[in-house]
Amino acid sequence: MAPSWYGSTLRMHVMQARTSCIFQLTRTEPMKIASLVAVFSLALLQACGGGGPNLNTLTGELPLVIGHRGASGTLPEHTLEAYKAAIDQGADFVEPDLVLTKDGVMVARHEPMLDSTTDVALKFPASRRSTRNMDGVTTTAYFASDFTLAEIKTLRAVQSNAARSKAFDGLYSIPTLDEVIALVKAEGTKAGRTVGIYPEIKHSTFHSDVVGFGRNVFEDKLVATLHAAYGNVATAPVFVQSFEVSNLQYLRTKTSIRLVQLIDADDVKDDGSMSLVAPYHKPYDFVVKNDPRTFADLLTPAGLDFVKTYANAVGPWKPYLVKTVNDRVERTGDTTLNINDRRVDGSTGVIELAHQKGLLVHTWTFRNDAGGYGFKDPQAEMAYYMRLGVDGVFTDFPATGVAAKQSLR
């Protein structure tokens, strides 16, 4: 649920006309005068300054377009080919989700389970499946951690989304993180620009405690690889993200590379509040530690202060940022009610509050072929979030994200 304080945080609405600048500030939460003046000055500069787009991002720069699992809307996700396509489409960063093989190699997969994104069932017998506790859910599957890298290299990626083309199934192999980095650097050089990498550590507690790699072995491997490739500097074209907290806190002691706290939920209620049902209600390491805080709690003023102690950005699921309401009014003209018809009520205040705390906001996931929570046009949806001030968007269709960004100019 969107916490009640959202409506009481600082809200800035900067509107621009050809001959005048109108600045409207609504504030119902006490703030120090110095902070208010600083925020007002930044907004006024963005609103009335000349020469470029008026942006509400934290830095005033254009938002990033992040290829979610590569250009996964058109090619099998987490393949070198999908990452290359994302770069060709203009993505600023590409996102490899990472899991560990049996021999401890980082490979790009969305989940430790290989079943839905590879042809593993055609290559290996059902006896290679195992049953494990995956973040509190008993799961039987082909787990990457039960296969060596050599075995995984015999697999080929398949399209996991039934509504998308299967034309490329069985063509592309499963890349290691080293291979992804090499590709991103080479393709960035060809394109004449720096392309960043945005790895996610998948299921840290699962890898350390259930599989048995040990505490922070995954994180140490990632840090060593990233430092070797990019150096231990905050200016590296790298963000590291996780839905868990303690692994990011550990990473903060080991690296200057930017870190991102992901924020999840399981659904959006009709009134626009967030539904928080296990296992999507809180970071899994919080579950293990009996920490009562939920994902939503991390977006409160106190929660963001806490996140700021170890992270540079928050990555909330997009309904946390824009309130939409299912008022059962058909708005898209297709005579059917779906999430595209939800009424858009504007910013929840999370973007503004995170920026006030000095945190970037990168949100996910935008898709051309899936509902947009109040938006039928995916480009218009991304542009709306960008105008509110998000600093980056994850999308399966990077070309659409680039078009949305260009519409801001």
47 part of a folded domain:
no
6 part of a folded domain:
no
H-state helical runs in 253-348: 284-289, 301-308
Number of domains the chain is built from:
1
19 part of a folded domain:
no
292 part of a folded domain:
yes
259 and 310 Cβ atoms separated by less than 8 Å: yes
* CA separation for the pair 246, 282 (Å, rounded): 13
Q: What are the structure tokens assigned to 101, written together?
A: 């093989």
H-state helical runs in 337-395: 350-356, 378-388
What does each of the 409 residues of the chain score in pLDDT, given as a tens digit?
Answer: 344 333 333 333 333 333 333 333 333 333 333 333 333 433 443 344 434 578 999 999 999 999 999 999 999 999 999 999 999 999 999 999 999 999 999 999 999 999 999 999 999 999 999 999 999 999 999 999 999 999 999 999 999 999 999 999 999 999 999 999 999 999 999 999 999 999 999 999 999 999 999 999 999 999 999 999 999 999 999 999 999 999 999 999 999 999 999 999 999 999 999 999 999 999 999 999 999 999 999 999 999 999 999 999 999 999 999 999 999 999 999 899 999 999 999 999 999 999 999 999 999 999 999 879 999 999 999 999 999 999 999 999 999 999 999 999 8
5 part of a folded domain:
no
50 part of a folded domain:
no
152 part of a folded domain:
yes
Q: What is the DSSP letter of 335?
A: S
107 part of a folded domain:
yes
Among 45, 38, 40, 41, which residue's Cα sits nearest to residue 21?
45
H-state helical runs in 310-361: 350-356
Domain, as residue range, for 236? 62-406
| Three-class secondary structure of residue 259 per DSSP | strand
**CATH number (domain holding residue 357):** 3.20.20.190
